[in-house]
């Protein structure tokens, strides 16, 4: 019996490789290259995936697609800042918002049969819904049957509320009668297994900055610290205008702001880079290794985790894509 050919992929807008790990874990796919422009992210990527010799193709807007090795799946978490509610929402007017067209160029030039793309929830209603329609039409015009769905990571196997739009693309000559079936939701795991860093930084409740925050015009008189500290694994998001509480889940990890605390043994703990990786689906062993690297700063790791794809979501999506291909 002939051995099945291993599916190959290239990891574009790679970040720290959440998409890569999802494809490897889900369908045992083989990565034949990646594209990432941030040196700090590349450093973390290489540690997490044990890849020193693999080529980083760099800025994908400058890639000559004909020079790329052959591959079957293109995966990319294309830049989301221009579509995010948090950002300025410039969309296609920002150069980052035009990355999608360079991905389409690569898809066409390499005749890639499948893709998985990810972006923020804000893409759905950006420019009154016209942006996502334009992206879908552009992908379909390029020769791909394209479907998208809003998926929350908290239903994909990690206790993090993270709503993201996922696109699945199938080249039209590969389309079959059966529909692509999106993965079923799964139960949210116990948050105790993720907030488990014994070395996480403790925040003194009398910290001057924290006290100023609690006593600002938005929060003054609203919260009793002693009461908060009685509830183990209570998660707190210290937003600018309010303090939000979560139980059993963590709010969306973000690139630019790291204000998430949790209560453990009567103390406030700051969410660590190690824990952030776990909440994105990275394995404990590799997460420990990268968090202990002296040349990987904690603040960078927190930002990189906030910018990553959720591994579990890509793992489940890739399994469904493989089911479609094999059927």
Measured CA to CA, the distance from residue 300 to residue 302 in angstroms comes to: 5
The DSSP secondary structure of 132-164, one letter per residue, reads HHHHHHHHHHTTEEEEEEEEEGGGTTSSB--EE
Q: 51, 59 in Cβ contact below 8 A?
A: no
Measured CA to CA, the distance from residue 288 to residue 199 in angstroms comes to: 11
Q: Which of 13, 31, 80, 196 is catalytic?
A: 80
| Alpha helix positions (H), 34-90 | 39-49
Measured CA to CA, the distance from residue 320 to residue 71 in angstroms comes to: 19
Query: In a 3-state reduction of DSSP, which class is residue 228?
Result: helix
Measured CA to CA, the distance from residue 52 to residue 253 in angstroms comes to: 28
Side-chain half-sphere of 102: how many Cα atoms within 13 Å? Answer: 19
Residue 31 is among the residues annotated as catalytic for this protein = no
* Residues forming beta bridges with residue 120, ordered by sequence position: 164
Q: Which strand (E) or helix (H) includes residue 234?
A: strand 234-238
Distances (CA, A) of 43 to 11, 18, 101: 15, 14, 27
* Residue 297 DSSP one-character state: -
Residues that are catalytic:
80
């Amino acid at each position: 019996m002939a051995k099945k050919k291993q599916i190959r992929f290239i990891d574009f807008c790679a970040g720290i490789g959440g998409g890569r790990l999802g494809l490897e874990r889900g369908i045992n796919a083989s990565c034949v290259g990646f594209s990432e422009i941030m040196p700090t992210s590349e450093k973390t990527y290489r540690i997490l995936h044990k890849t020193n010799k693999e080529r980083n193709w760099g800025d994908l807007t400058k890639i000559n697609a004909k020079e790329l090795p052959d591959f079957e799946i293109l995966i990319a978490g294309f830049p989301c800042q221009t579509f995010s509610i948090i950002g300025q929402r410039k969309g296609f007017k920002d150069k980052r918002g035009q990355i999608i067209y360079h991905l389409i160029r690569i898809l066409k030039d390499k005749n890639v049969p499948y893709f998985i793309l990810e972006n923020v929830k804000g893409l759905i209603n950006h420019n009154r819904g016209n942006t996502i329609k334009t992206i879908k039409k552009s992908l379909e015009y390029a020769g791909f049957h394209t479907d998208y769905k809003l998926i929350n990571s908290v239903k994909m196997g990690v206790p993090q509320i993270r709503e993201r739009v996922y696109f699945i693309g199938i080249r039209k000559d590969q389309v079959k009668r059966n529909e692509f079936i999106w993965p079923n939701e799964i139960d949210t795991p116990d948050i105790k297994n993720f907030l488990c860093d014994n070395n996480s930084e403790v925040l003194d409740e009398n910290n001057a900055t924290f006290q100023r925050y609690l006593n600002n015009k938005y929060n003054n008189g609203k919260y009793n610290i002693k009461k908060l500290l009685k509830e183990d694994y209570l998660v707190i998001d210290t937003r600018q205008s309010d303090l939000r509480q979560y139980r059993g889940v963590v709010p969306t990890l973000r690139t630019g702001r790291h204000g998430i605390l949790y209560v453990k043994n009567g103390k406030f703990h700051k969410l660590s880079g190690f824990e952030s990786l776990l909440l994105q689906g990275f394995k404990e062993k590799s997460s420990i290794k990268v968090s202990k690297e002296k040349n990987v700063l904690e603040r960078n790791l927190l930002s990189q985790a906030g910018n990553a794809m959720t591994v579990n979501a890509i793992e489940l999506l890739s399994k469904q894509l493989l089911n479609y291909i094999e059927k």
